[in-house]
Amino acid sequence: MRKHTKSTAQTTNTKYVVFQSLYEALENPRSRWFSHANDTLAFLTLLSVTSLAFQSVAAFASYDYLFMTIEYVAVFFFTIEYVVRFAAQKTRYAFSFFGIIDLFAILPTFFMLGNLTFLKTTRILRILRFLRIIRLTKLARITTHPTTRSEERLRVENLNLKIYFLALTSAIVMFGAFMYLIEGYRAEFSNMFLGMVWAVEVILGGINHVAPETLIGEITAIAARFVGLVLFGLLITVVGGFMQKLLFGSATREQGM
C-alpha cells in the first residue's frame, strides 16, 4: 500500500514538474527554453498561415494532403500551449484577448470543418498570435543587461523596427484574408494571395485599384486605410528615432556623460 502511495506521489510530482517546465518555457523570459519555445510557436504560426494561403489557390489542390499534415502538426503544438496556459490561469486566460485568439487557432480543426471556406479563413486569426511574441520579446529585454546606454537605445530601436514590420505583415495578411472571405466569389479575390496584394495597395498606398462591391468590403477597405495611417505614424516614429541618433547621437552621448 505504501509503495502504491509513494508511486502515485512520484507520478503526481513528475506531472507537476513537467507542467511547470512547460509554463516556464512559455512565460518566463529567464528560462533557458523560453526563446526556443516561442520561436517554435512563431514558426508554426507562420507555416500554418502560409499553408492556409496556398490552400486557397486552386492550382495547389493536389497538395492538400501536405497542407492538412501541416495543419494537424501545428494544431497539436497549439493545443499543448493552450492547455498549459489554461491550466495555469483558468478563466483569466480563457476570456482574455490572446486566449480567444488561441482558441480560434485550434477549434476549426477539432470540429473537422476545414472544408468550409469560412472556417478556413477564420484560422488566419493565427497571425494575431505574433502580438504575443512581440510582448514576450519586450519582456525578454529584462534578461539582458547592456553595458552602455547606446546599446540599450540600439536594442529598443531594433525592437521597434521588428514591431513595425510584424504589425505591417499582420495587417496585410488579415485584411487580405478578410477580402477573400467577403468577396472571394470575384476573380480579383479568388485566393488569399490576391487579397493580400489588394491589402498592400490599400495599406501602403491608400488607393485600391479593385473597389469592393459589398458594404462589408467597403468597411474593410476603410479600416485598412485607417490601419495604414496608423502604421505610417509608427514608421515615422521609428525612422525619426534612427535619424535622431544618426544626426545627434554624439551630442546625446555627451549630455548623458
Q: What is the pLDDT of residues 75-111, one digit of tens each?
A: 899 999 999 989 888 888 889 888 888 888 888 787 7
| pTM, two decimal places | 0.77
Residue 28 pLDDT greater than 60, yes or no: yes
Can you give the pLDDT at residue 257?
Answer: 47
Can you give the pLDDT at residue 137?
Answer: 59
The 10 Å Cβ neighbour count of residue 240 is 10
Can you give the pLDDT at residue 141?
Answer: 55
pLDDT (tens digit, 9 = 90+) per residue, 122-132? 666 667 766 66
93 in Cβ contact with 86 (< 8 Å): yes
HSE (side-chain half, CA atoms, 13 Å) at 203: 24
Task: Give the DSSP H or E segment for 188.
Answer: none
Can you give the pLDDT at residue 250?
Answer: 46
Q: How far is CA 255 from CA 84, 172, 201, in A?
A: 48, 41, 43
Please tell me which residue, 135 or 158, carries the higher pLDDT value: 158
137 in Cβ contact with 159 (< 8 Å): yes
Q: What average pLDDT does range 36-47 have in this prediction?
A: 85
181 in Cβ contact with 118 (< 8 Å): yes
Buried b (16+ CB within 10 A) or exposed e, 94-118: eeeeebebbbbbbebbeeeebeeee
**Domains defined along the chain, listed by start:** 1-132 (1.20.120.350), 144-249 (1.10.287.70)
